[in-house]
Structure 1
């Protein structure tokens, strides 16, 4: 299966996402923001970074890229689309996902290994996880606080569209933010659209896909965490189901 990864000016994690796709067993296909051809990919990843320097708002300029018109059309047609960190911000700006991302409540950049609880396994990107499973992946952001009006929050919760939620166990966070790293409402780390094909999350599963290079695991002396790989194997499995 061919998984496209879009690069915008200021993208940082496109190569990491392409590598994660390869390690999961798929073919990673680079896509350029200024092009308008999806090159027959089966799914799309919008990776992390600081597209256009986060001017105006994070993701606000990238939302108008020609490639995003094609991605939006494909997403509305059912194609799986994943937005990671800046990609999540772009999905919100494109109205493919509800809510918005604003600056962290503590107003500082944060980088740490972050525990997440998998709240939904009914999306194209989470079928290989177990409901309630706690995974550990890196988190790095400055504009990572998810906010939405009360009606939207109630819809996300009531329809089971919260996909990942921040939980305890993280260290090295700002005082008062040990569990919820950025003040996101309802501890939301990732959400999906009503069809389950579009998912956005702030933490970075593509940085936890290879033994020896993932997050520290409690009680283990070496870095062995590969918890993020399930995001990419899930979409490959969903595409052939």
Structure 2
């Protein structure tokens, strides 16, 4: 399975993503600069966190117009798996690949710490290694992680099981609507989340719960291609 890690000017979690793939699930990964125009060689595309283009205008607003985004849209239409984390989540919402928008944290402060999440949907290519309603620990590091959707969109997302992760009740760190921490598109091949699973792939990092997300992606792809799954 081949992974692409997109890199924009100002990305700073690209190495974390790369290492999570290479070290945790031993799969090949390539850094892809934002001027690339072809992603057809990749089975999963990772859009990392950071401060793309310095977060000018608003988070993800300029990165959304990078040449690689046209190729990303085409990949999504082909059914390629796409995971956007933190600034990557913001870019995906700006590009219209995911519903909603990310606002300033309601505390108006940058939050950086471990966070308890609840797995709301384990029936996606990214979450099969988790149990439904399982509590996991994944770190956050963001100043604009306050996820917002209007009531009509929220109702539609709930009906379509597009809410993938919620912050544990009483532990919402940013004011997100309905405690939402991660969502998918209707098709289920694109997920965006504010917490960083790539920073939770070993107990030395404080949690290894994020490792299972990468195993989920790999095993879903292997099953699709008739290959044996790997130990999680």
Q: Smaller-chain TM-score range? A: over 0.9
Deviations 1:96-153, CA, capped at 9 Å, x for gaps: 0000001001111110100100101121111111111111011010010000111111
Deviations 1:44-90, CA, capped at 9 Å, x for gaps: 00000010111111001000111111011111221000000000000
Tell whether the 8 Å contact from 2:139 to 2:195 is kept in structure 1 after alignment: yes
Q: CA deviation at 1:43?
A: 0.7
Runs of 4 or more above 3 Å deviation: none
* TM-score using structure 1 length: 0.90
C-alpha RMSD over aligned residues: 1.1
Are 1:3 and 2:9 an aligned pair? Answer: no
Partner SS state of residue 171, structure 2: coil
State the match for 1:174 in structure 2: none
Aligned pair count reads: 222
Structure 2 unpaired stretches of 5+: 224-232
Are 1:204 and 2:196 an aligned pair? Answer: yes
Tell whether the 8 Å contact from 1:80 to 1:197 is kept in structure 2 after alignment: yes
Matches within 5 A, 1:67-216: 67-168=68-169, 179-213=171-205, 215=206
Tell whether the 8 Å contact from 1:29 to 1:41 is kept in structure 2 after alignment: no
Q: CA deviation at 1:39?
A: 6.1
**Quick one: distance in 1 between partners of 2:7 and 2:70?**
14
Partner SS state of residue 212, structure 1: helix
Structure 1 unpaired stretches of 5+: 169-177, 216-224
* TM-score using structure 2 length: 0.93
Deviations 1:17-58, CA, capped at 9 Å, x for gaps: 011111123211111101112261111000000101111110
